[in-house]
């Protein structure tokens, strides 16, 4: 018999305790603390209260919680003394059917892990989608996490314990995050497209107007058409635009725009950008299936280019909608010397239409964007959703330092004009200078010596600089100091440099009225509010230039890592973001 919220809220303490037995392995103290927080508003709030009971516990209590877990394919499994829940989890993930080699591998991993950490390796083997990791994935995760620091692994194990509890609670309540599962599958389906040189290595890279990129646009368009949008088209820069009309037509009718980007960085994760496309498509499908029309319409835009990987044209997709498409971008060439204009033509885009893409802000309520956090905050505080207060402003540069290539063996150290040493000195200065401000960041993400040789002193060094801060004046001061250091370093070393600014975008505070809709939406799914700035840039900051915007962050797994194949979220968290977005749409589009 499945448990209901009402039963749990109305039960005696004793009955409530027994209802929550086994959620946390051999640790009923957690339920004891949590039931005092009744009545619970939702399943999400039960999960949060139980997680909070652990986070407020002592280190020793947390350690004993970890130690109460069985090893994977360990002694308890062999002796058949696992708890009912653990037995089902380890069976479902195939750990009871290891080959002799796998079994041996796991035993040695278990002993190495225990040796290093002093508690058993803990992994929610049902995985982020809840349908179970396979033995290969389990062993890969085990090997990867064995290299973690003690502190990081302690926190990761606690996160895994909460994930195990989350899935057990879902089972107890007979609730499955079905929309979240479907969203998970949509991401998997789109991730089959990847650029040459990456696809073969099972890496995800989708850069502007490659074949993979064009296939993504086609699939997103098909998905929108199948989800009840009234019109869908691919615009002149490759944005996929779907409209779901409101009840109000004609001059009075407005739209709420929402969306994110479908291009990726190199060797990317599957959720950066795409979650912000699929979540609103899912909401429109649910509205369409129920025949619901809101007062205002919904315009979902899958932006074609945000990352600026193939060409230095960051935010090209969203920029085109605010009228900042720079025609100079068209002559830019990629690393295969293909110009953007040629790439657009081969993709069948009508360049003459680009100038007509600018949106009239008076026709919009504003713009909202769902995005994975791409950072550790929500993962650390154990919250699935966060409301964004502002997006940090950034400046990007491409730099070339020029020295003199010379013989590495015969040129004395005091007679060199080494471009790479100068770039390295500047890079370390950037790191130290950014640390002096709160929340400033400065990164050299790309650096190379053109035509370098092992035995030649680098006569040229090309590199990128990415400089960000929560407010523009702080960002600008940091950039000025870095450029001053570039100048002085080159002067001292007898070098020259060129500096090309490739992006300058202002910090974008959230529009209070839209942020309030997000806060209401997060509260409506039974979660406490957490408001936070965004260190990452997003299309919302571009759209911010012509209309109000606000964002919702979704927790990332693995300490929120992003721009990395480990980027991940869970079906449960995606379910919650769809529910929150639906709530926002119902409120904002009916206001």
Residues forming contacts to ligand HGY in the complex (CB under 6 A) are: 306-307, 536-537
Q: Which of ligand HGY, Mn ion, none has residue 537 at its interface (CB below 5 to 8 Å by kind)?
A: ligand HGY
Q: How many positions of this chain bind Mn ion (CB under 5 A)?
A: 2
Q: What is the DSSP string of 271-297?
A: -TTTHHHHHHHHHHHHHHHTT---SSE
> Which residue lies nearer to ligand HGY by CB, 25 or 306?
306
Q: Which of ligand HGY, Mn ion, none has residue 297 at its interface (CB below 5 to 8 Å by kind)?
A: none
> Which residue lies nearer to ligand HGY by CB, 172 or 396?
396
CB distance 550 to 390 below 8 Å: no
Provide the 3-class DSSP secondary structure of residue 333. strand
Number of alpha helices (DSSP H) and beta strands (DSSP E) in the chain? 21, 16
Residue range at the interface with Mn ion (CB under 5 A); choices 265-273, 326-334, 339-347, 438-446: 265-273
Residue range at the interface with Mn ion (CB under 5 A); choices 209-217, 226-234, 240-248, 269-277: 269-277
Q: Which of Mn ion, ligand HGY, none has residue 153 at its interface (CB below 5 to 8 Å by kind)?
A: none
Cα angle for residues 585, 588, 591 (degrees, 5° grid): 130
CB distance 173 to 20 below 8 Å: no
Q: Work out how close the CB of 235 gets to ligand HGY at its nearest, in angstroms, rounded to a whole number.
A: 20
Q: Which of ligand HGY, Mn ion, none has residue 557 at its interface (CB below 5 to 8 Å by kind)?
A: none
Q: Which residue has the tokens 């280019």?
A: 305
Specify the DSSP element, H or E, that contains 552.
Answer: strand 549-554
Closest C-alpha among 282, 283, 279, 303 to residue 217: 303
Q: Work out how close the CB of 198 gets to Mn ion at its nearest, in angstroms, rounded to a whole number.
A: 16
CB distance 387 to 569 below 8 Å: no
> Which residue lies nearer to ligand HGY by CB, 89 or 307?
307
> Which residue lies nearer to ligand HGY by CB, 221 or 542?
542
Bridging pattern class, strands 385-391 and 549-554:
antiparallel
> Which residue lies nearer to Mn ion by CB, 449 or 551?
551
Q: Work out how close the CB of 536 gets to ligand HGY at its nearest, in angstroms, rounded to a whole number.
A: 4
Closest C-alpha among 342, 203, 317 to residue 260: 317
Q: Work out how close the CB of 271 gets to Mn ion at its nearest, in angstroms, rounded to a whole number.
A: 9
Q: Work out how close the CB of 191 gets to Mn ion at its nearest, in angstroms, rounded to a whole number.
A: 15
> Which residue lies nearer to ligand HGY by CB, 93 or 562?
562
> Which residue lies nearer to ligand HGY by CB, 177 or 537?
537
* Contact pick of 85, 89, 272, 573 for Mn ion (by CB under 5 A): 272
Q: Which of ligand HGY, Mn ion, none has residue 195 at its interface (CB below 5 to 8 Å by kind)?
A: none
> Which residue lies nearer to ligand HGY by CB, 156 or 306?
306
CB distance 209 to 307 below 8 Å: no
State how far Cα 181 lies from the chain centre.
17
> Which residue lies nearer to ligand HGY by CB, 9 or 464?
464
Provide the 3-class DSSP secondary structure of residue 77. helix
Residue range at the interface with Mn ion (CB under 5 A); choices 8-16, 184-192, 202-210, 267-275: 267-275
> Which residue lies nearer to ligand HGY by CB, 306 or 579?
306
DSSP 8-state assignment for residue 35: G
Q: Work out how close the CB of 541 gets to ligand HGY at its nearest, in angstroms, rounded to a whole number.
A: 9
Q: Work out how close the CB of 489 gets to Mn ion at its nearest, in angstroms, rounded to a whole number.
A: 30
Q: Which residue has the tokens 């040796």?
A: 115
Q: Work out how close the CB of 265 gets to Mn ion at its nearest, in angstroms, rounded to a whole number.
A: 6
Taking the CA atoms of residue 464, residue 470, residue 475 and residue 476 in that order, the dihedral angle to the nearest 10 degrees is 140
Q: Which of ligand HGY, Mn ion, none has residue 509 at its interface (CB below 5 to 8 Å by kind)?
A: none
CB distance 284 to 228 below 8 Å: yes
Q: Which of ligand HGY, Mn ion, none has residue 481 at its interface (CB below 5 to 8 Å by kind)?
A: none
> Which residue lies nearer to ligand HGY by CB, 258 or 394?
394
Any residues with CB less than 8 A from the CB of 390 and at least 6 apart, and which? 470, 507, 508, 509, 510, 533, 534
Does position 273 bind Mn ion by CB under 5 A? yes
Helices 571-588, 178-190: axis angle to 10 degrees equals 100
Distances (CA, A) of 310 to 16, 60, 213, 352: 56, 50, 11, 22
Q: Work out how close the CB of 549 gets to ligand HGY at its nearest, in angstroms, rounded to a whole number.
A: 15
Q: Work out how close the CB of 503 gets to Mn ion at its nearest, in angstroms, rounded to a whole number.
A: 13
DSSP 8-state assignment for residue 98: -
Q: Is the dihedral of CA 411, 414, 417, 423 positive or negative?
A: positive
Q: Work out how close the CB of 268 gets to Mn ion at its nearest, in angstroms, rounded to a whole number.
A: 7
Residue range at the interface with Mn ion (CB under 5 A); choices 180-188, 270-278, 324-332, 581-589: 270-278
- What whole-number distance in Å separates Cα of residue 241 and Cα of residue 195? 23
Q: Work out how close the CB of 330 gets to Mn ion at its nearest, in angstroms, rounded to a whole number.
A: 24
> Which residue lies nearer to ligand HGY by CB, 269 or 403?
269
Q: Which of Mn ion, ligand HGY, none has residue 305 at its interface (CB below 5 to 8 Å by kind)?
A: none
- What whole-number distance in Å separates Cα of residue 516 and Cα of residue 509? 13
CB distance 279 to 580 below 8 Å: no
> Which residue lies nearer to ligand HGY by CB, 93 or 260?
260
| Number of residues in the chain | 591
Phi-psi category of 231—alpha, beta or left, where left has phi over 0 and alpha has psi -120 to 50? beta
Q: Work out how close the CB of 445 gets to ligand HGY at its nearest, in angstroms, rounded to a whole number.
A: 9
Q: Which of ligand HGY, Mn ion, none has residue 166 at its interface (CB below 5 to 8 Å by kind)?
A: none
Q: List residues binding Mn ion (CB under 5 A).
A: 272-273
């Amino acid at each position: 018999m499945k448990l209901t919220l009402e039963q749990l809220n109305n039960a005696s303490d004793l009955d409530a305790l027994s209802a929550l037995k086994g959620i946390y392995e051999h640790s009923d103290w957690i339920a004891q603390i949590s039931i005092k927080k009744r009545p619970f508003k939702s399943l999400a709030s039960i999960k949060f209260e139980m997680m909070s009971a652990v986070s407020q516990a002592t280190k020793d209590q947390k350690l004993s919680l970890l130690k109460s877990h069985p090893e994977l394919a360990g002694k308890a499994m062999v002796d058949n003394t696992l708890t009912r829940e653990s037995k089902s989890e380890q069976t479902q993930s195939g750990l009871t059917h290891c080959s002799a080699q796998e079994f041996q591998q796991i035993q040695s991993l278990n002993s190495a892990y225990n040796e290093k950490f002093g508690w058993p390796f803990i992994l929610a083997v049902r995985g982020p989608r809840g349908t179970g990791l396979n033995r290969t994935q389990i062993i890969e995760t085990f090997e990867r996490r064995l290299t973690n620091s003690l502190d990081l692994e302690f926190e990761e194990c606690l996160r895994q314990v909460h994930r195990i509890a989350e899935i057990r609670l879902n089972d107890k309540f007979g609730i499955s995050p079905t929309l979240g599962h479907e969203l998970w599958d949509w991401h998997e389906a789109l991730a089959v497209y990847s650029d040459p040189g990456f696809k073969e290595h099972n890496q995800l890279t989708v850069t502007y107007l490659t074949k993979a990129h064009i296939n993504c646009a086609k699939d997103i368009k098909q998905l929108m058409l199948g989800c009840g949008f009234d019109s869908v088209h691919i615009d002149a820069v490759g944005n996929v635009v779907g409209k779901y009309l409101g009840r109000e037509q004609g001059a009075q009718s407005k739209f709420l725009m929402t969306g994110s980007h479908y291009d990726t960085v190199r060797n990317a994760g599957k959720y950066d950008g795409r979650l912000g496309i699929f979540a609103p498509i899912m909401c429109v499908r649910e509205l369409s299936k129920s025949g619901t029309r809101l007062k205002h319409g919904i315009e979902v835009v899958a932006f074609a280019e945000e990352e600026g990987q193939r060409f230095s044209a960051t935010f090209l997709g969203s920029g085109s909608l605010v009228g900042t498409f720079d025609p100079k971008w068209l002559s830019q060439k990629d690393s295969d010397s293909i110009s953007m204009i040629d790439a657009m033509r081969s993709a069948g885009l009508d360049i003459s239409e680009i100038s007509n893409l600018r949106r009239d802000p008076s026709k919009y309520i504003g713009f909202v964007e769902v995005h994975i956090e791409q950072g550790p905050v929500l993962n650390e505080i154990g919250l699935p959703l966060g409301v964004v207060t502002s997006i940090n402003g950034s400046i990007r540069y491409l730099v070339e330092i020029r020295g003199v290539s010379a013989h590495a063996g015969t040129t004395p150290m005091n007679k060199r004009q080494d471009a790479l040493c100068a770039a390295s000195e500047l890079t370390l200065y950037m790191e130290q200078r950014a640390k002096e401000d709160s929340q400033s960041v400065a990164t050299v993400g790309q650096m190379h010596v053109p035509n370098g040789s092992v035995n030649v002193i680098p006569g040229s060094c090309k590199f990128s600089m990415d400089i960000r801060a929560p407010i523009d004046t702080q960002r600008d001061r940091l950039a000025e100091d870095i450029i001053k250091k570039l100048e002085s370093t080159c002067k001292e070393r007898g070098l020259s440099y060129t500096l090309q600014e490739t992006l300058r975008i202002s910090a974008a505070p959230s529009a209070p009225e839209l942020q309030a809709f997000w806060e209401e939406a997060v509260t409506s799914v039974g979660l406490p509010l957490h408001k936070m700035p965004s260190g990452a840039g997003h299309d919302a900051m571009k759209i911010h230039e012509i209309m109000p915007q606000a964002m919702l962050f979704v927790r990332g797994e693995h300490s929120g890592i992003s721009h990395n194949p480990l980027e991940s979220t869970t079906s449960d968290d995606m379910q919650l973001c769809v529910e929150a977005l639906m709530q926002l749409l119902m409120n904002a589009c009916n206001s």
